[in-house]
Chains A and B, each alone.
Chain A
């Protein structure tokens, strides 16, 4: 499978998130060039790909932080880009998202950060919120840091607090932008376990971006590789390892030489020839 059009579950019930022909450019840079993929309820999808291939951009389209130039993202049958300002606020209650560097509010303590989604999105009492915050912090082994400010934590700790904040209100869909990058192997395994547990126990659908193949094999029901703005390969982990596409092989084995690095050397700026036309089209509006 080299150019899949996304797996196609038969009925609407089998699709939680459907991404169809998604295009996005920033100025003259074409980032997403027709992404197609369907994600099933309770599925754990891992997206891999080199830096700057638009993985984070893809994730931000799913939750409506970015609007596509063309194409659609549907969640539970609702097109995200069609939602107005107020509807999107309601829509986002379904989601929890952990950002790359944590994105903790630096004017608030760790406790306030993790409590924030509970206060804004649920009607829990102060006591319930307090219990849940403690529970989430101990889930990522950060008991007792509640009163600290994010600036007093290490990068890895901030990332774990961001993770705890994302899962605190038990959303239906979790989006993780490199949740384990820069963490030690033991903490990484711990976070992976939490992700697995959430999808087993709460039937949470999750989309995780990672560079860490070990972690990807552990948590993924399916792995997809994003390259030059397209999904170039997708398969369950065991199958994915055996894919013959040389780009996939180079990536999962972390080799410096191969088709990916040759392409990077050839086209340092533009992702491909077509992008020139797409750019001009984009700048006109």
Chain B
């Protein structure tokens, strides 16, 4: 049976993704454990993404406060700006936006790096030297991202709330104490927890997709370019779609 091209391509990609995921889980418990590489990737994916995630969260929190303030004022409900900003950031925006940003930064880098290794036969060379490329390349990258993205999101939560606070208090003249009070009044640990879980899933997805695109690169420099683009586009879509289902599942 032959499927129309776009469908065929879609199922092929899905098949590759689940195959790679299976291999990542199968290889993870097996020695040798490359702690140094894991650490190196954690720095590359996590620490190096701090500035860009910081800015994203800060300005998202700020614009949220700006927007909701002017809308809620129409209902005399300005006092809820703090709750709205905090809950939006923690439950949804911090994880999704950080996921998208890290997909653009680190996921694309994985696609490009592994893609270049593929087209220059470095991945073949690894296999020849009895080293499984999934074990050696994908496992540290995927787990590093799965660990670091939730941490970035926790930081993003704080920064986003701070951004909202600054706008509300300085620009809109809200009462600092009651603003902060409202920010945390309606929040419970499950809000925080679900955002962090989502971030871990997004981290896994974007890194696995980046690695997958890299591994299956063909066709020289142009192929590496395509793999890099695909790593970002596919990961972003995967994050947005899985966000819906995760939200449905977690709340």
Any A CB within 8 A of the CB of B48: no
Render B119-141 as a binary contact track against A, CB cut-off 8 A, 1 for contact. 01110111111111000000000
Closest-CB distance, A89 to chain B (whole angstroms): 5
Taking a contact as CB atoms under 8 Å apart, the answer to whether A99 and B129 are in contact is no
Taking a contact as CB atoms under 8 Å apart, the answer to whether B131 and A63 are in contact is no
Closest-CB distance, B25 to chain A (whole angstroms): 14
A93 surroundings in chain B (CB, below 8 A): 130
B117 surroundings in chain A (CB, below 8 A): 105
Any B CB within 8 A of the CB of A103: yes
8 Å CB contact of A116 from B124, B129, B132: B129
Taking a contact as CB atoms under 8 Å apart, the answer to whether B122 and A103 are in contact is yes
Q: What is the interface residue range for chain A against chain B? A: 20 to 34
- Tell me the complex Cα distance, A103–B120, Å: 6
- Tell me the complex Cα distance, A117–B124, Å: 13
Any B CB within 8 A of the CB of A121: yes
8 Å CB contact of B130 from A105, A106, A121: A121
Restricting to A228-274, which residues have a CB under 8 Å from any CB of B? none
- Tell me the complex Cα distance, A92–B117, Å: 20
A60 surroundings in chain B (CB, below 8 A): 124
Taking a contact as CB atoms under 8 Å apart, the answer to whether B127 and A65 are in contact is yes
8 Å CB contact of A106 from B122, B128, B131: B122
Closest-CB distance, B113 to chain A (whole angstroms): 8
Taking a contact as CB atoms under 8 Å apart, the answer to whether A120 and B129 are in contact is yes
Render A83-126 as a binary contact track against B, CB cut-off 8 A, 1 for contact. 00100011011011101110111100000000011001100000
Given contacts A101-B120, A103-B120, is CB(A89)–CB(B130) below 8 Å?
yes
Taking a contact as CB atoms under 8 Å apart, the answer to whether B122 and A95 are in contact is no
Closest-CB distance, B141 to chain A (whole angstroms): 13
Taking a contact as CB atoms under 8 Å apart, the answer to whether B132 and A121 are in contact is no
A85 surroundings in chain B (CB, below 8 A): 132
A121 surroundings in chain B (CB, below 8 A): 129-130
Taking a contact as CB atoms under 8 Å apart, the answer to whether B130 and A120 are in contact is yes
B121 surroundings in chain A (CB, below 8 A): 99-101, 103
8 Å CB contact of B128 from A65, A90, A104, A105: A65
- Tell me the complex Cα distance, A95–B131, Å: 13
- Tell me the complex Cα distance, A41–B116, Å: 36
Taking a contact as CB atoms under 8 Å apart, the answer to whether A105 and B124 are in contact is no
Closest-CB distance, A209 to chain B (whole angstroms): 13
Taking a contact as CB atoms under 8 Å apart, the answer to whether A89 and B132 are in contact is yes
In this complex, what residue of B is CB-closest to A94?
A: B130
Closest-CB distance, B130 to chain A (whole angstroms): 5
Closest-CB distance, B86 to chain A (whole angstroms): 41
Closest-CB distance, A83 to chain B (whole angstroms): 12
B128 surroundings in chain A (CB, below 8 A): 63, 65, 92, 95-97
A99 surroundings in chain B (CB, below 8 A): 121, 124-125
In this complex, what residue of B is CB-closest to A64?
A: B127
Taking a contact as CB atoms under 8 Å apart, the answer to whether A105 and B122 are in contact is yes
- Tell me the complex Cα distance, A60–B131, Å: 16
- Tell me the complex Cα distance, A96–B129, Å: 7
A116 surroundings in chain B (CB, below 8 A): 129
In this complex, what residue of B is CB-closest to A283?
A: B2
B130 surroundings in chain A (CB, below 8 A): 89-90, 92-93, 120-121
Taking a contact as CB atoms under 8 Å apart, the answer to whether B129 and A103 are in contact is no
Taking a contact as CB atoms under 8 Å apart, the answer to whether B131 and A97 are in contact is no
Restricting to B92-136, which residues have a CB under 8 Å from any CB of A? 116-117, 120-122, 124-132
- Tell me the complex Cα distance, A82–B121, Å: 23
- Tell me the complex Cα distance, A96–B130, Å: 10
In this complex, what residue of B is CB-closest to A169?
A: B129
Render B126-170 as a binary contact track against A, CB cut-off 8 A, 1 for contact. 111111100000000000000000000000000000000000000
Render A57-69 as a binary contact track against B, CB cut-off 8 A, 1 for contact. 0001001010000
In this complex, what residue of B is CB-closest to A89?
A: B130
Render B159-197 as a binary contact track against A, CB cut-off 8 A, 1 for contact. 000000000000000000000000000000000000000
23 A-B pairs within 8 Å (CB atoms) are namely A63-B128, A65-B124, A65-B127, A65-B128, A85-B132, A89-B131, A89-B132, A95-B128, A96-B128, A97-B128, A99-B121, A101-B120, A101-B121, A103-B121, A103-B122, A104-B125, A105-B122, A105-B125, A105-B126, A106-B120, A106-B122, A120-B129, A120-B131
Q: Which 9 A-B pairs have the closest CB atoms?
A: A103-B121, A103-B125, A97-B128, A99-B121, A117-B129, A92-B130, A89-B130, A103-B122, A65-B124
Supply 10 further A-B pairs (C-beta < 8 A) apart from A97-B125, A103-B120, A120-B130: A63-B128, A65-B127, A65-B128, A89-B130, A101-B121, A103-B122, A103-B125, A105-B122, A106-B120, A120-B129
